[in-house]
Amino acid sequence: MPRELINANPVVHGKKERRFRDESLNTDEYAEEPIDQQEIFDHVRDIKDPEHPYSLEELNVVSEDSIEVDDKLNHVRVTFTPTVEHCSMATIIGLCLRVKLMRSLPSRYKIDIRLAPGSHATEAAVNKQLNDKERVAAALENPNLAEVVAECLAPTFV
Amino acid sequence: MSDIDMVDGNLALKEIQKLEGHTDRVWSLAWNPTAGAGGLPPMLASCSGDKTARIWQQGPSGSWDCAAVLEDTHNRTVRSCAWSPCGKLLATGSFDATTAIWQKSGGDFECIATLEGHENEVKGVAWNPSGSLLATCSRDKSVWIWEMQPGNEFECVAVLQGHTQDVKLVQWHPHLDVLVSVSYDNSIKVWIEDGDLDDWSCVQTLGESSSGHSSTVWALSFNPAGDRMVTCSDDLTMKIWDTSSNPSQFSGDGIGSWFHLCTLSGYHDRTVFSVNWSRDGIIATGAADDSICLFHETKDYLVDGGSYKLILKKNKAHDMDVNSVQWNPKEPEILASASDDGSIKLWRLTQVP
């Protein structure tokens, strides 16, 4: 029996074209390239939604503009917007974003994940949980939760 | 008082040794309170996301080595560790919802008891001053008190309910059987035993309305006299509390209870995970901004009840978050720190000429 969906009919948006860096502008090939907004977006755009066969980009949960990065201060902040205000998947989506960035970025980065202001009924509670590293660590040791996260991050979904 | 001249201020935290061996983040540290005297080499316990605890010992050359790995007992993260006051038993609390009691037998450490009862992750463990009671706290919002019985038996004598969210850490007063717990619900709770009923109850809650914290409280530490307490939080502040009155003599109308003295803010940019008050009166803090700060009470009493000033900030003390800072109880100028980078560092506080 199919389980009831939190958001049965999400609005699906198009994927943004992948931009490639113009290497010809780069005169010094040994120059250090700072990590930028676009690079972070590329890491998270293809994460699969926990209940739909669409990516977070297609559901407009994340966009390039929702990513703030300060390479010098080693700080990244991702602000995401769940498809519905009462989305019980918000914590899972946030967890997926955190895990993907933890695995993709150098360990010197401090990562903050938060809901877009006003986008969720229990915004403060979800934000607090997503940024408590002890609870995140405990959640990832939970086999069921780890499996859901692994599915959302599966590389076959592009 | 301290043999370090605070007025001069030319202090440095010199790295003595980096201890490597854990294969995941190191969550917590505990100095053995009796080792380091009477011919016993100094001893430090650490615990980690790699599901083990390790015992580190200083050799004759002065260098520190791993003397034992406590494994195959916990099957998830070991979040906290604490030595009994006699230094013979080590308690480890784990995300697997159990607390293990370890005893040295020969060169090895043997698990002599496993305490079960919490519904989920155990986050903190602490022994009372006499070593007869062990407190544990958990994500299940409760604090349990266990009494040590003959034959390595531990009996749960109280389950303390009151926090509305997970309890991050428990710590006993240095001289009294007064237990303090700090929580994700932003509050600090003070618990005592009701003499007549053999029952434990919360006698005070220090919350935001009592000038307390506005986010998760991660840790606490008493000064050696027990008349001051410091707490640290996700709200990026540390708070000093006057704890000079005995909670068993609190009156019903709140008179004689513990109260807020001052707030230290603007020193850390990210969550403050650990705080520890040294025998010399120096408060160390470790935070998610990778730094360690040291504070000392100022002698110029411009503020009622005293004020505390930063005497040193060590930026980039570790490559990642600093989860625990603990002063050596025997050599109060030695500090140990543990980090998400998997390492433990030993530091010496020295005066720079």
Residues of A in contact with B184 (CB under 8 A): 128, 132, 135
Beta carbons within 8 Å of B69's beta carbon, 6+ residues apart: B21, B52, B53, B54, B55
Q: With an 8 Å Cβ cutoff, is B286 touching chain A? A: no
Q: What is the mean pLDDT of residues B150-172?
A: 96
Mutate to test the interface with A, among B27, B48, B95, B341 (most CBs of A within 10 A): B95
For residue B265, which amino acid is it? S
Contact A141 B184 (CB under 8 A): no
Beta carbons within 8 Å of B148's beta carbon, 6+ residues apart: B131, B132, B133, B134, B154
Contact A138 B234 (CB under 8 A): no
- At B162-210, the pLDDT tens digits run 999 999 999 999 999 999 999 999 999 999 998 766 689 999 999 999 9
Position A157 scores a pLDDT of 47
Q: With an 8 Å Cβ cutoff, is A107 touching chain B? A: yes
Beta carbons within 8 Å of B157's beta carbon, 6+ residues apart: B133, B145, B146, B147, B198
Residue A17 has what DSSP assignment? P
- Whole-model pTM: value is 0.93
DSSP assignment of B103-149, as one string? EEETTEEEEEEEE---SS-EEEEEE-TTSSEEEEEETTS-EEEEEEE
Does pLDDT of B125 surpass 60? Answer: yes
Instruction: Kindly give the pairing relationship between strand B153-160 and strand B283-287.
Output: unpaired
Q: With an 8 Å Cβ cutoff, is B22 touching chain A? A: no
Q: CA of A4 to nearest chain B CA: how many angstroms apart? A: 29
| Whole-angstrom distance, CA of residue A44 vs CA of residue A76 | 12
The SS3 call for residue B224 is coil
List b or e across B21-45, with b for residues whose CB sees 16 or more CB atoms inside 10 angstroms: bbeebbbbbbbbbbbbeeeeebbbb
Q: With an 8 Å Cβ cutoff, is A125 touching chain B? A: no
* Percentage with pLDDT > 70 across chain B: 93
Contact B79 A134 (CB under 8 A): yes
Position A15 scores a pLDDT of 79
Instruction: Kindly give the pairing relationship between strand A110-115 and strand A75-80.
Output: parallel
Residues of B in contact with A132 (CB under 8 A): 184, 216, 234
Position B38 scores a pLDDT of 79
Position B216 scores a pLDDT of 98
Give average pLDDT by consecutive 10-residue segment, chain A, 158 residues.
66 75 58 83 94 92 95 94 87 96 94 95 95 97 94 75
Residues of A in contact with B321 (CB under 8 A): 133
Q: Which stretches of chain B are DSSP H helices?
A: none
Alpha carbon A138 to its chain centroid, in Å, reads: 19
- At B287-315, the pLDDT tens digits run 999 999 999 998 765 555 568 999 999 99
Residues of B in contact with A138 (CB under 8 A): 77, 95, 120-121, 139
Q: CA of A127 to nearest chain B CA: how many angstroms apart? A: 12
| Whole-angstrom distance, CA of residue B188 vs CA of residue B208 | 10
Contact A134 B123 (CB under 8 A): yes
Q: What is the mean pLDDT of residues B13-37?
A: 96
User: Which sign does the torsion angle of CA A143, A144, A149, A152 carry?
Assistant: positive
Query: CA-nearest residue of chain A to B27?
Result: A134
Name the residue among B120, B289, B319 with its Cβ closest to that of A107. Answer: B319
With bands split at pLDDT 50, 70 and 90, how would you rate the model's confidence at B250?
confident
Mean pLDDT over the full length of chain B: 93
Contact A110 B319 (CB under 8 A): no
User: Closest by alpha carbon to B64, among B42, B46, B90, B40?
Assistant: B42
Q: What is the ipTM of this complex?
A: 0.93
With bands split at pLDDT 50, 70 and 90, how would you rate the model's confidence at B1?
very low
Contact A108 B79 (CB under 8 A): no
Position A1 scores a pLDDT of 41
User: Closest by alpha carbon to B234, among B189, B269, B190?
Assistant: B269
Position B84 scores a pLDDT of 97
- At B29-68, the pLDDT tens digits run 999 999 888 778 999 999 999 999 999 999 999 999 999 9
Position A155 scores a pLDDT of 75
Does pLDDT of B2 surpass 70? Answer: no
| Whole-angstrom distance, CA of residue B73 vs CA of residue B263 | 41
Position B331 scores a pLDDT of 94
